[in-house]
Structure 1
C-alpha cells in the first residue's frame, strides 16, 4: 500500500483532530458542567462530530487506506451515542384504551411577539394539540392569557414564574390529580412543575421541566458571529445552572414513591451530563420508538434534540413522535404513548 501523499497527510491530521474532539465529547456526560463549563458546549456539537467522522471513514474506505481504522474505532466506542442521534423508523402503533399519551411542547409564549408571521399561530397550536388527543399535555414557555383554552381537559395546573411577562409552565390532564407542586428554580425564570395523577388504580408523577435556557438564536450564521469568549461564558453559566436544577429534580423524585415521567425542554442535548442524570432509571422514548434524527429545535440544518420524554423503566413505550412539520414555535412538539 502506497504511503500517503502530502494532501492525504493533511486530511488525516484534520481527521485526527475531529476524532480526538469526538472522544472528548464522549466523556462529557460524566463530567459535571460546574467542573469544566466551557467543555459542555461540545455536547451540542456531538451530531456534527459524529457525521464528520463518518465522512472521514467513507473517504478512507474509498481511498482503500488503513487510516479508516481511526474513525471506525472512535465511532464504535460511541455506538450508543449514534443510537441517541438516529433511529430507524419504528412500526406504526394504534393507541389502546389502557395506554397513556403524553404531549410535550415548548410553545414560545404562543408566538406572543410575532416571531412567526400571522395572527393564527395561537389557534393553530391549540388545534394541533386537541387533534392529537393526548391524555396529558406539558407546556413550556406557557403564556397566561384569557384566550388560551384547551377543550376536553378537566384539570389544569399552571405556574407563572415571570409575573411581569406572565409566562411559565402548565400541565393539562383528564386524570384525577392527587398532588401537585412547583420546584421553583433559584435565580431563574425557568422551572419544573409536577402532578401526581391517578391512572386506573396506579399513581404516577408527571414532571414538566424547562431547564435553564441557552438563549441560542436559531441561525448558525448568527451563532458563529457572536464573540466566542462571550458565547462560551454565557452557555457555560447556563450549563452550571442546569446541573443545579437537575439535582433539584432528582431530589424531588428521590422522595417520591410513584413511578415517574419526565418531559419537557432540557435546553441541552442527549449527549450531555444533565440528560444522563435525568435519564437514570428511565427510558428515553425516542431511543425506544423514535425515528430519524428526532429533531425538536429549529437550528438550521443541525438536528438538535433538546426536548425529551423519559418514562420510568417499569413502563413500556409503545410509540414516540416528533413533528418537525409543525412550525408554530422554535421547538417542535413531541408525543409518547406508553403503558404502565
Structure 2
C-alpha cells in the first residue's frame, strides 16, 4: 500500500509541475496536469486510509497536496470566507461564452438551441459580452447573429475579428460587445495557420480606460469518436491506435497552445490599462496555460466562485477550461457558471468594479 501511495504521490507532484513547465519543453507533463483532479482524489483516499489505521504514512500525500495548494484552490472553492461586495452604482457585469458557433452544425440536435442562447444573453444582460467561436452570415436566412445581438443589446459598441471568411458573407471568429464606448481595437495574431485568435478592446468607463482581452486558444481537437473508440475497441490493436491518436492530438494542441499563450501573456504585461481577460483557454487550472496567463491577475472564480467551477459540457467531468481573470485594480463578485446545455462549454459571468484610477 505504501509503494502504491508513493506512485500516486509522485504522479500528483508531476501534475503540480505541469503549471510551471511549458509543453514546448516537455509536453508529456501537460497530460498529468489535465488529470490533476483525479490524481488528487486518489491521494486524498490514501491519506484517509493511513489516518484510519493511524499510520504516519499519511504525511506523504499530505505534503504533496499542500505543495500544490495553489492548484487546489484554483480547482475548488468551499465558500469558507465572506464574498466581496461591490457598489451597485459602479459595478458592471461581464459574461464570457464559447457558443460553439451558435449550434451552426446542429451538434445539440435541438432546433431551439440558438434561440435559447440569445434568450440567456438577453436575460443576463451583461455590460461586457465576450464570445468565442462566433459565427454570423449576412446572407443566410436566420443566421445574421451579429444583427440579432445588436437588436438584443441595443448597444452599438462591437469589436469582431475573424479567422475564416467564405463567400464574402459568412464569418467565423471572435467578438466582444460593450455597453461602454470602445476607444481602441486590436488583434493579436499567432504566427501559424490556426482558427484561434485573441483580440483586445479598450473601453472607456467614466474617466477610466480598461482593456478587455477575449481569447480562444488552441484546442486538443479530440473528437467524440476518439473517446468512444478508446472505450469500446474491438481488439487491442484498435485500442492502441486510438490511444496513439489521442496522445498525438494532445501533444500537438498543448505545444501550439503554449506558444500562443506566451504571445498573449507578453502583450498583457505591457498593457497601459487595467486588464480583464476572458476566454476559452482549453486547459485546466493545473496547466502552464493558466499559470502563465494568471501571473499577476486575479481569478474571478477564486474570488467569489463556489464548488468545482467546471465549464466543459462534455465527456470529461470536472473540467474547468473557461475563465474570467482580472487586474488587481478590479474587484470581482458573484461569479457563476450557468450549467445550461447550449454548447460544449458553459457560459460564465461575474460582476466587476474598478477600485482606483
TM-score, with length taken from structure 1: 0.91
Shift of 1:222: 2.9
Distance 1:274 1:53, change over 3 A: same
| Counterpart contact for 2:84–2:332, Cα < 8 Å | no
| Counterpart contact for 2:187–2:200, Cα < 8 Å | yes
| Counterpart contact for 1:197–1:203, Cα < 8 Å | yes
| Counterpart contact for 1:206–1:261, Cα < 8 Å | yes
Mapping for residues 173-252 of structure 1, pairs under 5 Å:
173-185=178-190, 186-217=192-223, 221-222=227-228, 224-225=230-231, 227-252=242-267
What is residue 110 of structure 2 aligned with on the other side?
118
Deviations 1:297-318 (A, max 9, x none): 0234620110001100111112
Query: Residue 338 in 1 paired to residue 352 in 2?
Result: yes
Distance 1:13 1:224, change over 3 A: farther
TM-score, with length taken from structure 2: 0.87
| Counterpart contact for 1:95–1:337, Cα < 8 Å | no
What is residue 44 of structure 1 aligned with on the other side?
34
Mapping for residues 1-340 of structure 1, pairs under 5 Å:
11-89=1-79, 91=83, 96-145=88-137, 146-148=143-145, 149-150=148-149, 151-152=152-153, 153-164=155-166, 166-185=171-190, 186-217=192-223, 221-222=227-228, 224-225=230-231, 227-300=242-315, 302-324=317-339, 326-340=340-354
What is residue 3 of structure 1 aligned with on the other side?
none
Aligned length: 329
Shift of 1:254: 3.7
Shift of 1:217: 3.8
In the alignment, structure 2 segments of 5+ residues that lack a partner are 138-142, 232-240
3-state DSSP class of the match of 2:310? Answer: coil
Distance 1:333 1:219, change over 3 A: farther
Aligned mates of 1:250, 1:292 — CA distance in 2: 27
Superposition CA RMSD, Å = 2.0
When structure 1 is superposed on structure 2, of 225-234 and 120-129 the one drifting more is: 225-234
Shift of 1:319: 2.2
In the alignment, structure 1 segments of 5+ residues that lack a partner are 1-10
| Counterpart contact for 2:300–2:324, Cα < 8 Å | yes
3-state DSSP class of the match of 1:252? Answer: helix
When structure 1 is superposed on structure 2, of 209-218 and 186-195 the one drifting more is: 209-218
3-state DSSP class of the match of 1:55? Answer: helix
Deviations 1:214-258 (A, max 9, x none): 113469943844633332222122111112111221232244211
